[in-house]
Amino acid sequence: MQKTAVVLLLAFSATTFALDNGLMRTPPMGWLAWERFRCDIDCDNDPKNCISESLFKDMADRLAEDGWRELGYVYVNIDDCWSSKQRDAQGRLQPDPKRFPGGIANLARYVHDRGLKLGIYGDLGTYTCGGYPGTTLDKIEIDAQTFADWGIDMLKLDGCYSNATDQEMGYPLMTKALNATGRPIGYSCSWPAYQGGLPPAVNYTLLGEICNLWRNYGDIQDSWDSVLNIVDWFTDHQDILQPAAGPGQWNDPDMLIIGDYGLSTDQSRSQMALWAIMAAPLFMSNDLRTLNSGARAILQNKGAIAINQDPLGIQGRRLIKEKSGIDVFWRPLSNGASALVFFSRRTDMPYRYQTSLKALNYTPGTYKLYDVFLEKSLPEVKDATDFVVSVNPTGVVMWYVYPSTKQEDVEPVHLKSKLTRSMFLQKDRKPYSPDIL
């Protein structure tokens, strides 16, 4: 009876537990260990790839030295299998002493010294998914304080070995505990993924008040089928999911697997474009030490990043699903701009897709176009004028679209070598017509 009363109290008094960290006003970006490195703890035989402080220092070095940090990729996120199998004498989580000999606080200092942020993994259950100590309801406060004491900047809280009642109590209680530490810690909740991702089991209004981002669906795998399955689930339910997203609260379709083994170049562009349209967090899970130049170019594409990071924070949606196998996605951006993605589900050959901006519900006028992956301006087009785009199998064409005006141009912030969070515009300046278009 007491537990039921607590659950009802949380359901009707969410503001008591509202997350008050001011973080992640645009989708967070960085690197996350899980998809690429999983639970490899064999540091004796696989020292370069095992879950250890050495791995996370290597990735921090790459983010800081290879141009990632300046583009917004600032989080270095530890996932499962980092901890010892036992808590310490005070009941606190502790890292595996062999694989993290310097401790997490020391690793956080290393990451912070490079202008980056450190994320960590926990689980609201008796064990983590990998079998390590979980954060049961009675451990929420001590774990939140431990993470704050270590200098952690983000917490991903999983849901293995828990139940619906404990999740309904525990996820909001962790919000309260994180707030109480006084340290700004971004909060990623896996709660909806364990409850089917949809109402009535999932209350997205409540999630938006207690979490900065949340996993809605299953884990991504290193395959095109997995990417397509996630995209289909998110678009099939976009009427529910799209309104839930906004500054400080994001739907999370899971990691970017660009640069691993499962995607072609066209499929890699597709994942980057669709994650940008969906205003998704951009957490790479790859090996930045050996990343090839093609994958790097896609992940560091400034136009795609700028679309993802648009300060309006409106998640895009699929407008059209054609019988020909072409889907058209659209996202509104700041100051009347927008992004279009023409995505091919076909596997045979490039498809020439004909349409017009008028057919895509654009208002009358003339528009400037910029092809994000070709990185070049296209001829201006009137709303009623038909055009043709050639889309490669399982590939995309991604456009930045802006109304053509005679107003004074403003410097195109999104193409500067060092991006800012304002990206496409600065609030105290006029709307601009980028000189690249």
| pLDDT tens digits for range 85-132 | 999 999 999 999 999 999 999 999 999 999 999 999 999 999 999 999
365 shares a domain with 290: no
Pairing of strands 351-355, 366-371: unpaired
Q: Is 174:157 a contact under the CB 8 Å cutoff?
A: yes
212 shares a domain with 323: no
324 shares a domain with 273: no
Q: Which residues of the chain have pLDDT under 50?
A: 1-15, 406-437
322 shares a domain with 304: no
Q: Where are the alpha helices (DSSP H) in 322-411?
A: none
Q: How far apart are CA 388 and CA 369, in angstroms?
A: 13
From 158, 166, 310, 327, the catalytic residue? 158
Q: Please report whether residue 51 resides in a domain.
A: yes
333 shares a domain with 259: no
227 shares a domain with 365: no
Is 158 one of the catalytic residues?
yes
pLDDT digits (tens, 9 = 90+) for 126-139: 999 999 999 999 99
* pLDDT for res 20: 82
Is 310 one of the catalytic residues?
no
Task: Kindly report the pTM of this predicted structure.
Answer: 0.91
From 58, 61, 149, 219, the catalytic residue? 219
Q: Please report whether residue 431 resides in a domain.
A: no
Q: How far apart are CA 254 and CA 282, in angstroms?
A: 8
182 shares a domain with 69: yes
CA dist list (Å): 356 to 64, 340, 364, 365, 372: 42, 12, 11, 12, 19
Secondary element (H or E) of residue 155? strand 154-158
Q: Residue 83 is part of a domain; what is its CATH number?
A: 3.20.20.70
Q: Please report whether residue 435 resides in a domain.
A: no
Our count of domains for the chain comes to: 2
Q: Quick check: bond before 200 cis, omega within 30?
A: yes
Q: Residue 402 is part of a domain; what is its CATH number?
A: 2.60.40.1180
Q: Please report whether residue 131 resides in a domain.
A: yes
* pLDDT for res 16: 55
* pLDDT for res 426: 30
* pLDDT for res 405: 80
37 shares a domain with 91: yes
Q: Please report whether residue 428 resides in a domain.
A: no
User: Around Cβ 408, how many Cβ atoms within 10 Å?
Assistant: 10
276 shares a domain with 328: no
Domain holding 182, by residue range, is 2-308
Q: Please report whether residue 424 resides in a domain.
A: no
403 shares a domain with 259: no
251 shares a domain with 125: yes
